[in-house]
């Protein structure tokens, strides 16, 4: 059983993992790591580890389920039984069902669904290890998997959470901060278009604090967006450098 | 106004240009701004901005030559997997004479599940699946050779400007190479070793499609491999 | 799950009116439909309430049970919120396990009650670590004409305000029921305010047709002190930061109005 810390922010204004209020956890991104999926990507954000894969667009059977004028995005957010402190049953929980829905709704606005009528785009997000912020990291990595699959998008969708911990508005809450803090505001956006596609909040905030949290989350998103772009280009940039300098 | 250099790598959402441009392939426009919708190399024309995608699935186009695999046989014809979100249809009437009402066995004898065919797309629109024909010379069941699958957006690179790349491949490996626009390529050589060389070369092209000096490097690689193989053989 | 096909003409009609600041039923952009709240409609339930929001009708029932607390919260009672989109409420509802919309609604209503600490769960502890009261809130949608979230949140709150727990005594480690009842102590009054974004404008309390044409939905839940305790964006569209902050200001005021209705009904 984990020990519960007394304070989440110490006298040096450092958080339990040594970060300052506006620092992101270390992030690692990799694209195109599964050979069978049409697109895939992997993220580590702090101690959260998440894998996303895309199949599609592919024809949808049975036919009557398909939409006549656009593709259907289906999303499954799922936690592995060993991903959390106490083993979680593999059956989808209500939380996973809700998150599957809000994640799908965060990504739908970016895909040109009308280009592929009667098909389905299946997105699978597997949480291999959870340490807070999994829906946000899941959206961030899912965008890369969609781009890796060559699905045309308006923009990469990037997500980050801000919240209130020990009275302070902070960026990118880890698991302990999420569980013991005063509020959590996950947010997803398309940075090029300034469009927010996911927004939730639980906890207690004044309207002013909420505005601070949104601004901070959007700032975090912009930083992660740069990392997304780099990760997407990485494979090709490496090859280009390698062969053109021979 | 252009925001990138020609042939620079761009990602979805990148603002490529502002002004009176036409939004070409793999881009989209909001007001007078053109954004990329896929990962690829941006190309600026006089009036048009487009992105040469590094990775995209095949969307059928009328007139395209494609290599497909039969996945279903029914009384009306065959359903063909053409490596696209949509499966294609080869009608029985394309193969049999008009008026002849074939039994399912007749169809199975011509093409059965698992057979590979070289065909052409005759029609395709948003409401129906693409239709195929094998009536033209050279089309029909594939019986010899090996199939390579690459991402369809790189097919033009395998062909090369005015056929420069594919002619190089044919010449250097001595193989017959038939290119399907849907990303499948048929290679038929004098022996499996030659075919393997061609396959290696094609994979290299796929990996390095976005770089320059590729034709030379491919030629060099084939010759080097052939040299090694000849040495080992003797 | 998929929207009913709304005729293009109607879609344009709705959008045009809203652009002019009006809605098809004559309401202003920040007006709620007529609201009627009835408490204590199901005598067998420990608490209940029925909310009519325009033609949307939602019934909430509260049942009190006794059970084990969660292992990591041995001194707290348990709150659980469930919702049923019963088939008679709409041609779109099918019998079977809860749909994602039903689950989302239950969780959003739960969030409002839980995060605002409306119920002091520690007061529901009977024998620490062994026996606690379980508060089951079941939301039953009876007619779906739009904005189920706000109607359900109000119904749940009204039902809680109406909930009586039987008196008891602990004898030899067993709970014995005694005559008489005690009102469930409710110390906060969370109210959800939902917007639909249609063609760049925000409208409060969307009805069914507006929900069919909206791009996105935004729900903000406020507590009695005007603090936000839950937010949920829904729908496949996007919102701008400015829209969200504008919605928050409007919602804070509307929540105040609705709270009066629920508490005083």
Which residue has 């009695």 as its token pair? C224
Residue of B nearest to A70 (CA): B126
Is residue A19, in this structure, part of any structural domain at all?
Answer: no
- Of B55, B39, B40, B45, which Cα lies nearest the Cα of B17? B45
Give the pLDDT confidence of B3-49 residue by residue, as tens digits: 999 999 999 999 999 999 999 999 999 999 999 999 999 999 989 99
Domain co-membership, B88 together with B137: yes
Whether B213 and A243 lie within 8 Å, measured CB to CB: yes
Q: What is the structure's pLDDT at B140? A: 92
Domain co-membership, B94 together with B125: yes
- Residue A158 tokens read as 């990037």
Of the residues B88, B123, B142, the one at which a domain ends = B142
- Residue A175 tokens read as 């698991």
Q: Give me the residue from A94, A104, A199 closest to C233, CB to CB.
A: A199
Whether B211 and A239 lie within 8 Å, measured CB to CB: yes
- Residue A191 tokens read as 């940075």
Nearest CA to CA, how far is C151 from chain A (Å)?
A: 19
- Interface contact B204, partner A, CB < 8 A: no
Domain co-membership, B156 together with B124: no
Whether C115 and A203 lie within 8 Å, measured CB to CB: yes
Q: What is the structure's pLDDT at C7? A: 72
Q: What is the structure's pLDDT at C52? A: 96
Of the residues B86, B117, B142, the one at which a domain ends = B142
Whether C and A touch, i.e. at least 3 CB pairs below 8 A, reads as yes
Tell me the torsion sign for CA atoms C37, C39, C42, C48. Answer: positive
Give the pLDDT confidence of B182-207 residue by residue, as tens digits: 999 999 999 888 898 899 999 999 98
> What does the alpha-carbon distance between residue B54 and residue C259 come to, in Å, rounded to a whole number?
56
Region B147-164 average pLDDT: 91
The boundaries of the domain holding residue A161 are 27-237
Is residue A5, in this structure, part of any structural domain at all?
Answer: no
Region C164-184 average pLDDT: 90
Interface mutation vs chain C, best among A203, A209, A215, most C CBs within 10 Å: A203
Which CATH number is B78's domain given? Answer: 2.40.50.140
Question: Using CB atoms and an 8 Å cut-off, which of residues 29-68 of chain B contact chain A?
Answer: 30, 35, 37-39, 53-57
pLDDT over 50 (residue C2): no
> What is the percentage of chain B residues whose pLDDT exceeds 70?
97
The helix/strand/coil state of C43 is: coil
Q: How far is CA B207 from CA A107, A230, B7, B211, in A?
A: 29, 18, 16, 9
Give the pLDDT confidence of A181-196 residue by residue, as tens digits: 999 999 999 999 999 9
Is residue A242, in this structure, part of any structural domain at all?
Answer: no
The boundaries of the domain holding residue C191 are 27-264
Q: Give me the residue from B28, B85, B208 closest to A154, CB to CB.
A: B28
Q: Enter the ipTM.
A: 0.91
- Interface contact A153, partner C, CB < 8 A: no
Is residue C225, in this structure, part of any structural domain at all?
Answer: yes
Region A141-158 average pLDDT: 97
Nearest CA to CA, how far is A90 from chain B (Å)?
A: 31
Give the pLDDT confidence of A35-88 residue by residue, as tens digits: 888 999 999 999 999 999 999 899 987 888 889 899 999 999 999 998 998 888
The helix/strand/coil state of C35 is: strand
pLDDT over 50 (residue A1): no
Q: What is the structure's pLDDT at C3? A: 42
* Residue B71 near residue A183 (C-beta atoms within 8 A): no
- Of A175, A180, A219, which Cα lies nearest the Cα of A203? A180
The total domain count for chain B is 3
CA dihedral in degrees (C242, C246, C247, C248; nearest 10)?
Answer: 110
> What does the alpha-carbon distance between residue B201 and residue B195 come to, in Å, rounded to a whole number?
10
Confidence of residue C6 (pLDDT cuts 50, 70, 90): low
Is the backbone peptide bond immediately before B85 cis, with ω within 30 degrees of 0?
no
Of the residues B104, B125, B142, the one at which a domain ends = B142
- Interface contact B211, partner A, CB < 8 A: yes
Residue of C nearest to A198 (CA): C233
pLDDT over 50 (residue C152): yes
Is residue C256, in this structure, part of any structural domain at all?
Answer: yes
- The residues, ordered by sequence, that sit 6+ positions from A130 with a Cβ below 8 Å of its Cβ are A48, A79, A83, A84, A175
pLDDT over 80 (residue C25): yes
Is residue A49, in this structure, part of any structural domain at all?
Answer: yes
Lowest mean pLDDT among A74-78, A85-89, B83-87, C226-230: A85-89
Query: Which chains are adjacent to chain A, needing at least 3 Cβ pairs under 8 Å?
Result: B, C
For chain C, how big is the Rg over CA atoms in Å? Answer: 20
Domain co-membership, B114 together with B154: no
- Chain-wide mean pLDDT for chain B? 90
- Interface contact C187, partner A, CB < 8 A: no
Which residue has 């739960």 as its token pair? C110
- Chain-wide mean pLDDT for chain A? 93
Is residue B59, in this structure, part of any structural domain at all?
Answer: no
Whether B13 and A154 lie within 8 Å, measured CB to CB: yes
Interface mutation vs chain C, best among A196, A216, A217, most C CBs within 10 Å: A196
Q: What is the structure's pLDDT at C34? A: 96
Residue of A nearest to C247 (CA): A207
- Residue A136 tokens read as 């946000």
Residue of C nearest to A193 (CA): C240
Q: What is the structure's pLDDT at B209? A: 87
Is residue B89, in this structure, part of any structural domain at all?
Answer: yes
Nearest CA to CA, how far is B215 from chain A (Å)?
A: 12
- Of A135, A70, A79, A77, which Cα lies nearest the Cα of A108? A70
More confident residue, C12 or A172: A172
> What does the alpha-carbon distance between residue A189 and residue A186 come to, in Å, rounded to a whole number?
10
Which CATH number is A58's domain given? Answer: 3.30.230.70
- Interface contact A122, partner B, CB < 8 A: no
Is residue C108, in this structure, part of any structural domain at all?
Answer: yes
N- to C-terminal Cα separation, chain C? 34
Is residue A74, in this structure, part of any structural domain at all?
Answer: yes
> What does the alpha-carbon distance between residue A51 and residue C2 come to, in Å, rounded to a whole number?
28
Whether A153 and B13 lie within 8 Å, measured CB to CB: yes
**Paired residues of A185 in beta bridges:** A162
Query: C228: which chain A residues are within 8 Å (Cβ-Cβ)?
Result: 201, 204-207, 210
Region A107-134 average pLDDT: 95
Q: How far is CA A193 from CA A140, A196, A227, B117, C44, in A?
A: 16, 9, 18, 45, 53
Q: How far is CA C173 from CA C70, C129, C131, C176, C253, in A?
A: 19, 12, 9, 9, 48
Is residue B1, in this structure, part of any structural domain at all?
Answer: no
Give the pLDDT confidence of A198-218 residue by residue, as tens digits: 999 999 999 999 999 999 999
Is residue A21, in this structure, part of any structural domain at all?
Answer: no
pLDDT over 50 (residue A178): yes
The helix/strand/coil state of C177 is: strand
Which CATH number is C31's domain given? Answer: 3.30.230.70
Region B103-112 average pLDDT: 81
What would the DSSP string read from start to end of A165-198? ETTEEEES--HHHHHHSSEEEEEEEETTTTEEEE
Confidence of residue C37 (pLDDT cuts 50, 70, 90): very high
- Interface contact A219, partner C, CB < 8 A: no
Q: What is the structure's pLDDT at A3? A: 60
Domain co-membership, B161 together with B187: yes
The total domain count for chain A is 1
Is residue B3, in this structure, part of any structural domain at all?
Answer: no
Region C158-168 average pLDDT: 94
* Residue B94 near residue B118 (C-beta atoms within 8 A): no
Domain co-membership, B179 together with B102: no
Question: Using CB atoms and an 8 Å cut-off, which of residues 150-179 of chain A contact chain B?
Answer: 150, 152-156
> What is the percentage of chain B residues whose pLDDT exceeds 90?
65
> What does the alpha-carbon distance between residue A141 and residue A131 come to, in Å, rounded to a whole number?
16
Whether A204 and C235 lie within 8 Å, measured CB to CB: no
Give the pLDDT confidence of B144-155 residue by residue, as tens digits: 888 999 999 999
- The residues, ordered by sequence, that sit 6+ positions from C70 with a Cβ below 8 Å of its Cβ are C76, C78
Query: Which chains are adjacent to chain C, needing at least 3 Cβ pairs under 8 Å?
Result: A
Is residue B155, in this structure, part of any structural domain at all?
Answer: yes
Is residue B128, in this structure, part of any structural domain at all?
Answer: yes
Q: What is the structure's pLDDT at B95? A: 84
Query: C235: which chain A residues are within 8 Å (Cβ-Cβ)?
Result: 105
Instruction: Give 3-state DSSP helix, strand, coil % of chain B, rounded to 5.
Output: 30, 35, 35
Q: What is the structure's pLDDT at C9? A: 78
The helix/strand/coil state of C133 is: strand
The boundaries of the domain holding residue B20 are 9-53
- Interface contact B100, partner A, CB < 8 A: no
Is residue A243, in this structure, part of any structural domain at all?
Answer: no
Interface mutation vs chain B, best among A57, A236, A241, A244, most B CBs within 10 Å: A236
Is residue C42, in this structure, part of any structural domain at all?
Answer: yes
The helix/strand/coil state of B133 is: strand
pLDDT over 80 (residue B99): no
- Interface contact C253, partner A, CB < 8 A: no
Q: What are the contacts of B135-144 at 24+ separation with CB within 8 A? A: B135/B94, B141/B110, B141/B111, B141/B115, B141/B116, B141/B117, B142/B67, B142/B115, B142/B116, B142/B117, B142/B118, B142/B186, B144/B188
Is residue C138, in this structure, part of any structural domain at all?
Answer: yes
* Residue A207 near residue C220 (C-beta atoms within 8 A): no
Confidence of residue A246 (pLDDT cuts 50, 70, 90): low
pLDDT over 70 (residue A2): no
């Amino acid at each position: 059983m984990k020990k519960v810390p007394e304070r989440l922010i110490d006298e040096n204004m450092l958080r339990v993992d040594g970060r300052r209020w506006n620092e992101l956890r270390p992030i690692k991104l990799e694209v195109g790591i599964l050979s069978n999926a049409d697109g895939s990507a992997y993220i580590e954000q702090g101690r959260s580890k998440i894998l996303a894969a895309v199949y599609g667009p592919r024809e949808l059977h049975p036919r009557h389920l398909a939409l006549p004028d656009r593709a259907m995005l289906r999303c499954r957010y799922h936690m592995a039984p060993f991903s959390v402190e106490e083993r979680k049953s593999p059956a989808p929980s209500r939380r996973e069902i809700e998150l599957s829905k809000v994640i799908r709704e965060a990504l739908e606005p970016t895909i040109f669904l009308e280009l592929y009528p009667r098909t389905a785009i299946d997105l699978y997000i597997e949480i291999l290890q959870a340490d807070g912020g999994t829906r946000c990291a899941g959206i961030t990595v899912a965008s890369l998997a969609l781009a890796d699959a060559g699905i045309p998008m308006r923009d990469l969708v990037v997500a980050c959470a801000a919240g209130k911990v020990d009275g302070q508005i902070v960026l990118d809450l880890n698991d302990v901060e999420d569980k013991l803090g005063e509020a959590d505001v996950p947010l997803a956006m398309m940075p090029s278009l300034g469009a927010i596609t996911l927004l939730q909040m639980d906890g207690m905030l004044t309207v002013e604090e909420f505005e601070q949290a949104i601004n901070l989350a959007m700032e975090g998103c912009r930083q992660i967006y740069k990392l997304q772009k780099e990760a997407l280009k990485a494979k090709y940039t490496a090859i280009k450098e390698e062969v053109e300098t021979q | 106004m252009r925001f990138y250099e020609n042939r620079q790598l761009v990602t979805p959402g990148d603002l490529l240009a502002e002004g009176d441009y036409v939004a070409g392939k793999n881009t989209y426009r909001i007001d007078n701004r053109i954004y990329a919708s896929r990962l690829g190399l941006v190309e600026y024309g006089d009036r048009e901005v487009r992105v040469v995608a590094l990775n995209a699935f095949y969307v059928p186009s009328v007139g395209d030559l494609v290599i497909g695999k039969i996945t279903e046989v029914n009384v009306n014809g065959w359903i063909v997997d053409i490596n696209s979100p949509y499966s294609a249809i080869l009608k029985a009437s394309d193969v049999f004479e008009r008026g002849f009402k074939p039994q399912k066995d007749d169809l199975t004898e011509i093409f059965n599940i698992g057979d590979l065919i070289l065909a052409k797309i005759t029609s395709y629109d948003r409401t129906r699946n693409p239709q195929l024909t094998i009536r033209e010379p050279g089309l029909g069941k594939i019986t010899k050779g090996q199939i390579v699958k690459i991402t369809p957006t790189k097919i033009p690179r395998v062909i090369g400007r005015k056929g420069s790349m594919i002619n190089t491949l044919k010449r250097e490996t001595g193989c017959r190479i038939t290119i399907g626009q849907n990303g499948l390529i048929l290679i038929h050589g004098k022996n499996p070793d030659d075919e393997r060389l061609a396959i290696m070369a094609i994979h290299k092209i796929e990996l390095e499609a976005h770089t320059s000096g590729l034709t030379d490097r491919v030629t060099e690689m084939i010759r080097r491999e052939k040299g090694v193989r000849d040495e080992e053989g003797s | 799950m998929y929207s009913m096909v709304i005729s293009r003409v109607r879609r344009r009609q709705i959008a045009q009116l809203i652009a002019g600041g009006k809605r098809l039923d004559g309401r202003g952009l920040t007006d709620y439909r007529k609201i009627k709240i009835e408490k204590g409609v199901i005598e067998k339930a420990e608490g209940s309430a029925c909310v009519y929001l325009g033609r949307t009708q939602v019934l909430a029932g509260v049942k009190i049970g006794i059970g084990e607390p969660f292992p990591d919260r041995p001194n707290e009672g348990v709150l659980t919120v469930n919702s049923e989109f019963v088939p008679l409420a709409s041609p779109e509802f099918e019998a079977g396990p809860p749909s994602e919309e039903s689950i989302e609604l239950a969780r959003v209503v739960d969030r409002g009650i839980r995060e605002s600490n409306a119920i002091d769960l520690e007061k529901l502890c009977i024998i620490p670590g062994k026996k606690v009261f379980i508060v089951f809130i079941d939301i039953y949608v009876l007619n779906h004409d739009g904005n189920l979230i706000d109607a359900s949140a109000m119904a749940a709150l009204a039902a809680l305000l109406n909930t009586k727990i039987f008196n008891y005594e602990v004898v030899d480690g067993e709970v014995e029921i005694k005559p008489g009842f005690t009102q469930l102590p409710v110390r906060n009054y969370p109210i959800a305010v939902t917007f639909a974004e249609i063609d760049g404008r925000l409208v409060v309390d969307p009805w069914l047709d507006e929900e069919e044409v909206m791009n996105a939905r935004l729900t903000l839940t406020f507590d009695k002190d005007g603090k936000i305790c839950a937010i949920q964006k829904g729908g496949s569209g996007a919102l701008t930061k400015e829209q969200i902050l504008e919605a928050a200001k409007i919602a804070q005021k509307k929540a105040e109005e609705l709270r009066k209705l629920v508490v005083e009904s």
